[in-house]
Structure 1
Amino acid sequence: MKNDQRLPGRRALLRLAAGLGTAGAVRVIAADPAGAPFRPAAELPEGAAGPPAVRRELPSAHRLQPMTAGSPPRFRPAAPPVRTRPFEKLSEIGHAMVLTFDDGPDPLYTPRILATLRKYDVRAMFFVCGEMADEYPDLVRAIAADGHTIGNHSWTHPLVTRLSRAGVRDELGTTSEVIEKTTGTPPFWYRAPYGAWNRNSFEIGAELGMEPMAWTLDTLDWTEPGSGTIVRRVRKGAAPGVVVLSHDAGGNRSQSVSALRRYLPELLDEGYRITVPRRR
């Protein structure tokens, strides 16, 4: 989760345009209504973005183990070429932005974020951790019922680049399984914890029918810099196609909730549509 769990170094900021490879013929478009190259763990700089090891203050769910009994669900060979860069900015959605929230769902903060999004009738992306989705299935269903996109953020939020291929398959496969079991639909998008991608994650994600999604703008809300600072970062980074990274779990996210209530109406007043990407 993005109190981004047990990482000696921190998540590398992703700054390049979306990758050119495909895991199938996919075209990203806006859905109404309303990185830099991946870096191995050894290359992650100590000062790069990413929350510290302590995660959330509510009763722990992240000690749950992945569901390792049986085979991962419906794996298929990835159709070449497999993507080698995640989407970081979406160029085909017009004067729109994408809001994303990682690490949830959380029973305290996720409902507050959903209420704000509902108030302004906009859709966002929620990259959930499997262990959290498994503990709070009603929240996962609430996210889906409001029309938001649910993505895969692994089961326990590990540093994927340090996992074996089987470990990556277990983390992503079991999370997709829980999402599909809970909502009736498997996820089409996934995001690597810490933004740390590698060949195994790209290939196994493709085998599961998922596309990799990174971000353009990191609010760094996990540092609890104050809601005003979060709002200023979003204002400064606002532009067509920008993907904003925030969190709805993993620690005290009251500042994230408060900031959303301020910057969302401002973005709408400036003419931005807040939307989610879908394949066509």
Structure 2
Amino acid sequence: MYDSLDQNVITSGEKGAKKTVILTFDDGPGRVLPKLLDILKKEEVQAMFFWQSRLLYKERPWKRVLDEGHLIGTHSCKHPNLTKLSYTEQFAELEYSKQKIHEITGSPVIYFRPPFGQYNLETIKAAQDLGLTTVMWRISSMDWELARHPEKILQNVIQNLENGAIILLHELQQTIQVLPDLIKKIRAEGYEFSLLPPLEK
């Protein structure tokens, strides 16, 4: 479980009468994206995608992502550890990423997830100066370390479920492998799926 005392960083969604969680996928758009979207469509689940803009081409199925009700945020351009950069360098990295995603998709970018989950005061200021809200997570699936043990992805999420939790996942083959079961198990625990509000700042 992760938490932040910084009021400028989001780790959970709204906590209403119904128990909800938010699925988020980092490090795309990648080769498994079509399979990922197929699963989400079949299960009628909407999710948030935090993309590296260097991987976003017009040929990627970004239009399908938006048409099917998902949200796209920035995960920077080249996925650097932003804490090792100056404010000016961080601002330039996020500005370029935001502009490229907007230019290709036509959709305003209002959410940002720091690469490696690493940020400092300059990161938050750069994001705010660009109208971006920084989004972290409450539950990490650790899926990037579990290619040989995908069943542990399920354990990491299900054992830590809580109302409003943002769940960290990635566009990886092992994640695709367990995603249908993960969705079913989350629902079996009485949770529904939601998104952060898609409001332009």
Q: Specify the alignment match of 1:115 in structure 2.
A: 38
Normalised by the length of structure 1, the TM-score is 0.66
SS at match of 2:61: helix
Distance 2:197 2:170 in 1: 21
Q: Which of 113, 116, 131 is the matching residue for 1:191?
A: 113
Q: Specify the alignment match of 1:130 in structure 2.
A: 53
Amino acid at match of 2:126: I
SS at match of 1:89: coil
> What are the residue-to-residue correspondences of 1:1-280 with 2, within 5 Å?
15-17=2-4, 19-20=6-7, 83=8, 86-93=9-16, 94-107=18-31, 109-133=32-56, 135=57, 137-223=59-145, 224-248=147-171, 253-278=172-197
Question: Residues 168, 277 of structure 1: CA spacing in aligned structure 2 closer, same or farther, 3 A cutoff?
Answer: same
Amino acid at match of 1:120: E
Q: Per residue, is there more helix in 1 or in 2?
A: 2
- Residue 204 of structure 1: how far off its partner (Å): 1.3
Normalised by the length of structure 2, the TM-score is 0.91
Distance 1:130 1:261 in 2: 27
- Residue 91 of structure 1: how far off its partner (Å): 4.3
% identity of equivalent residues = 26
Q: Deviations over 1:25-56 (max 9, x none)?
A: xxxxxxxxxxxxxxxxxxxxxxxxxxxxxxxx
SS at match of 1:237: coil
- Residue 141 of structure 1: how far off its partner (Å): 2.1
Distance 2:96 2:118 in 1: 19
Question: Could you list the runs of 5+ residues in structure 2 that have no partner in the other structure?
Answer: none
Amino acid at match of 1:96: T
Question: Residues 226, 130 of structure 1: CA spacing in aligned structure 2 closer, same or farther, 3 A cutoff?
Answer: same
2:71/2:198 contact within 8 Å kept: no
Instruction: Kindly tell me the number of residue pairs found equivalent between the two proteins.
Output: 197
Backbone CA RMSD of aligned residues:
1.8
SS at match of 1:102: strand
Question: Could you list the runs of 5+ residues in structure 1 that have no partner in the other structure?
Answer: 1-13, 21-82
Amino acid at match of 1:239: E
- Residue 129 of structure 1: how far off its partner (Å): 0.3
SS at match of 2:10: coil
